[in-house]
Amino acid sequence: MLAKEIEREGIPVAYVTSLPTVATMIGANRIVRGPAITHPFGLDEDERRKIVERALEMLEADVEANTVWEVEK
C-alpha cells in the first residue's frame, strides 16, 4: 500500500475511507472514516471541509498504529 510506504520514509499520511476495517488490515496508521462508500469525502462542502480538517489534524498528531478517527457531525 502506498500510504504505508510513504510513512516508512517519514512522511505522515492520512487515509480517508468509508471502510476503515480494510485500511486497518492493510496497515494504514492514520485513518479518517468517510460517510459513504460512493462519496468518502461527503456530498456537501461543509462535510468535505470537516473531513479534510480532521485529516490535517491527524497529520500533526502522534498516533498508535491503525488509529481510526471519526468526523464530528
For the stretch 11-54, pLDDT in tens is: 999 999 999 999 898 888 899 999 999 999 988 999 999 999 99
Q: What pLDDT, on a 0 to 100 scale, did the predictor assign at position 64?
A: 80
- What residues are paired with 31 via a beta bridge? 15, 68
**pTM here?**
0.84
Band (5; pLDDT cuts 50, 70, 90): confident
Helices (H), the chain: 2-8, 20-25, 45-60
* C-alpha to C-alpha distance for 71 and 59, rounded to whole angstroms: 15
